[in-house]
């Protein structure tokens, strides 16, 4: 590997020459991300929340793209479209898991938790006396 002019410093991967490094206090991205820049999730949410006209039961109404996508997915799954059915069942399974993990019943108290609670009770009862 080539040596730096000033001494025994080796220049290589992750070791740039000293004269090309950022000066102390200088950032590699001085302006940063512009304040108006949007992340991918923000752009996706905005696109899914846009309203579109849908013809349904002889009438027309405005719904979000998100709602239109879900309605189409359910309708296709109901007609035995197996890829749509698989996607729908995966969504249902995932949403049920999220609900179960958020429910208080799933937060069972283990023996270790019981021991910790007993120690805390004992510690607080000593300080109150």
Q: What's the pLDDT score for residue 46?
A: 95
- Beta-bridge partner residues of 52: 63
pLDDT digits (tens, 9 = 90+) for 90-122: 999 999 888 877 766 656 778 888 888 888 888
Domain ranges of the chain: 51-103
| pTM above threshold 0.75 | no
Cα-based torsion angle of the residue sequence 69, 72, 78, 82 in order, rounded to the nearest 10 degrees: -70
3-state SS, 27-58, equals: CCCCCCCCCCCCCHHHHHHHHHHCEEEEEECC
Q: Among candidates 33, 2, 29, which has minimal Cα distance to 18?
A: 2
Enumerate residues 6+ apart whose C-beta is below 8 A from 87: 73, 77
């Amino acid at each position: 590997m080539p040596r730096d002019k000033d001494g025994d410093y080796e220049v290589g991967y992750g070791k740039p020459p000293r004269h090309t490094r950022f000066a102390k206090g200088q950032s590699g991205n001085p302006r940063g991300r512009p304040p108006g820049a949007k992340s991918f999730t923000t752009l996706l949410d905005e696109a899914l929340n846009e309203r579109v006209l849908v013809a349904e039961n002889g009438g027309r109404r405005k719904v979000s793209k998100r709602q239109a996508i879900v309605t189409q997915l359910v309708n296709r799954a109901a007609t035995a479209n197996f890829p749509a059915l698989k996607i729908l069942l995966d969504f249902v399974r995932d949403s049920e898991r999220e609900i179960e993990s958020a429910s208080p019943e799933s937060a069972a108290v283990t023996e270790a938790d019981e021991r910790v609670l007993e120690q805390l009770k004992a510690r607080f009862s000593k300080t109150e006396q």
